[in-house]
Structure 1
Amino acid sequence: MSEAIEKQIGSMVEPLIKEKGLELVDVEYLKEGAHWYLRLYIDKEGGVDMDDCSAISHVVSEMLDQKNPIPQAYMLEVSSPGLERPLKKEEDFVRFRGSMVMVHTTSPFKGFKKFSGNLIGLINDEIVLEYNDEHIAIPYNLVKKAHLALDF
């Protein structure tokens, strides 16, 4: 249920967010304790600030109040994706080429469920990483999540 709502909300709010010169990075709809949360993660070149988050929260809240696509009460949160930004779209794998990333798989691949390395790209439905001068090609259909990783 929440995946369908995330997709529906994403397609509804993305045009509004693009109109403001921002990018919709991710949508989460989940229950924590007794409360439901709708979280929108936005970004732009150079990062977002509180004014960006507030402006998006305002326009999205108005649109969601009018269309009422979510049956139960929820709290809307709009924020930056943070330093460990998720990689979800094909464009993310192009934009962050050369960056240190972490990839988590749904089941073991080559004996592991976590991989880190420099992103080569998304090639033939595989996330290709470079680690210790070797290339690792992880099938995209095994990926639970991929995100930027802090490189110390």
Structure 2
Amino acid sequence: MPDVEVLLAEVVAGGTLRLFVDHPDGVSLALCEQVTRALEDLREQYALEVSSPGRDRPLVKPDHFRRFLGRRARVRTREARDGHKSFTGELVGADDREVTIAAETGVVAIPYTEIHRSNLVEE
């Protein structure tokens, strides 16, 4: 679907496929219904949940991190960095290679290739 971006797709307990979608005009119930109908084939294999990203919005692309500079986020890495795999703090920088976060342990630059999962957190 034009302009619909899938931010996160995951299979959760019980064979449910959960999709978080975004759209430049926002995510409405009608948009979620359209996406659900467009994924008819997947509905034969999975129970399907389609929703907006909400307050804990996943951050997937460099543009997502740039869009939310100054906001609090949690970034989880694939491997431990200085004994930590999770960093929560203010997003202070984002370029095409890495995101920089001011976490409790200090300011850390994390290459996107090392990120397992990331999302905004409540202020």
Question: Secondary structure of the equivalent of 2:20?
Answer: strand
- Cα contact 2:62–2:96 (8 A) shared by 1: no
Larger relative contact order, structure 1 or 2 (CA cutoff 8 Å, min sep 6): 2
Q: Distance in 2 between matches of 1:81 and 1:95?
A: 14
Whichever structure has more strand as a proportion of its residues is 2
Residue 26 of structure 1 aligns with which residue?
A: 8
Q: State TM-score, norm by structure 2.
A: 0.79
Q: 2:37 aligns with which of 41, 58, 67?
A: 58
Structure 2 unaligned blocks of 5 or more: none
Same amino acid, percent of matched pairs: 33
Residue 5 of structure 1 aligns with which residue?
A: none
Distance 1:104 1:53, change over 3 A: same
**RMSD between superposed Cα atoms in Å:** 2.5
What's the offset of the Cα at 1:144? Answer: 1.5
Number of paired residues? 122
What's the offset of the Cα at 1:31? Answer: 5.2
Residue 103 of structure 1 aligns with which residue?
A: 75
Distance 1:50 1:148, change over 3 A: same
AA aligned to 2:29 is M
Residue 50 of structure 2 aligns with which residue?
A: 78
Residue 22 of structure 2 aligns with which residue?
A: 43
What's the offset of the Cα at 1:102? Answer: 0.7
AA aligned to 1:73 is Q
Distance 1:31 1:147, change over 3 A: closer
Q: Distance in 1 between matches of 2:70 and 2:51?
A: 25
- Cα contact 2:62–2:95 (8 A) shared by 1: no
